[in-house]
Amino acid sequence: MPTKTLKTVVFMGSAKTVVPFWGGDARLGDRVVSWVKEILTSRSKELGSDTIKHDFTVVDPVEVFGDGGALAEISNGALSTPTFFLKELPPKAQALKETICGADCYLVVSPEYNHAVPPALASVMGHFGGSCYACKPSAILTYSPGPFAGMRAAVAICTMCHELGCLPVSKLCGLPNTEGLLDSDGKPKEGSERLLKQLPAMLDQLEWMAVAMKRQRDETGVC
């Protein structure tokens, strides 16, 4: 069975770097991204006559806007300089643009800030124009330390992705009480936990859409 490898960009939605005074993780999402990376690395799924795998890149706002980061030379987290406003980009920014524009699909991993899209996520994705994302699918995974799993942010992220052109699949993945589901290394504390089965089911939809939309892009030259 031939292998079809999807170029996948994983957007990390949080830029937190400080441990709160009451303790805990500096960034709870690091557990989630570690788990997502393990799932994508080991995943091999039959789809029609192909076996689907992922070649993925994690885009982390802490790295992107930090010292030596891909966007640090030209912009900041406040989105002062969208890349599509410039005729030429520095090499690191150009490389990041090519990675995002060259993706077949996107997986957004995000917390909820004030019932809305975290500013770091909106900034990183918004630095690149809709032509980069057009006619490709996205999938949304939200998490929280509390019981609601960031679902209000997921709804807002759906709207943002629609506007950018990377249409979200219908399934969402929400992880409430993340510390109770994943250890500090992103390993499931209970392998049979029902909530952790959301991600593979969502990836099924993402892969189906990514393959179908890539075929149309390749055949028609649209987008």
Residue 169, pLDDT score: 98
Confidence of residue 197 (pLDDT cuts 50, 70, 90): very high
Q: Which pLDDT belongs to residue 192? A: 78
Q: In CATH, what number is assigned to the domain containing residue 213? A: 3.40.50.360
> Which residue do the tokens 């019981």 mark?
147
Indicate the range of 129-138, 161-170, 188-197 predicted with least confidence: 188-197
191 pLDDT higher than 80: no
| Beta pairing, strands 45-47 & 105-110 | unpaired
- Give the mean model confidence (pLDDT) for residues 207-214: 97
Listing DSSP states for 67-97 in one string gives: TT-TTTTT--TT--S-GGG-SS--HHHHHHH
- 118 close to 152: Cβ distance less than 8 angstroms: no
pLDDT of 209 reads 98
- Between the CA of residue 197 and those of 80, 130, 143, 181, 193, what are the distances in Å? 39, 31, 14, 12, 7
Q: Specify whether the CB–CB gap between 86 and 74 falls below 8 A.
A: yes
* Residue closest to 57 by CA, chosen among 14, 91, 11: 11
pLDDT of the residue at 188: 95
pLDDT of residue 221: 83
Which pLDDT score is estimated for 206? Answer: 98
pLDDT tens track for 82-134: 999 999 999 999 999 999 999 999 999 999 999 999 999 999 999 999 999 99
Task: Report the DSSP beta bridge partners of residue 116.
Answer: 113
Average pLDDT, rounded, for the chain: 96
Do residues 130 and 107 make contact, with C-beta atoms less than 8 angstroms apart?
A: no
- Residue-wise pLDDT tens digits, 33-65: 999 999 999 999 999 999 999 999 999 999 999
Q: What is the mean pLDDT of residues 134-145?
A: 97
Residues spanned by the domain of 199: 3-220
Amino acid at 122: A
For 2, the 3-state DSSP assignment is coil
Domain count, the chain: 1
pTM comes to 0.96
Does residue 164 surpass a pLDDT of 90? yes
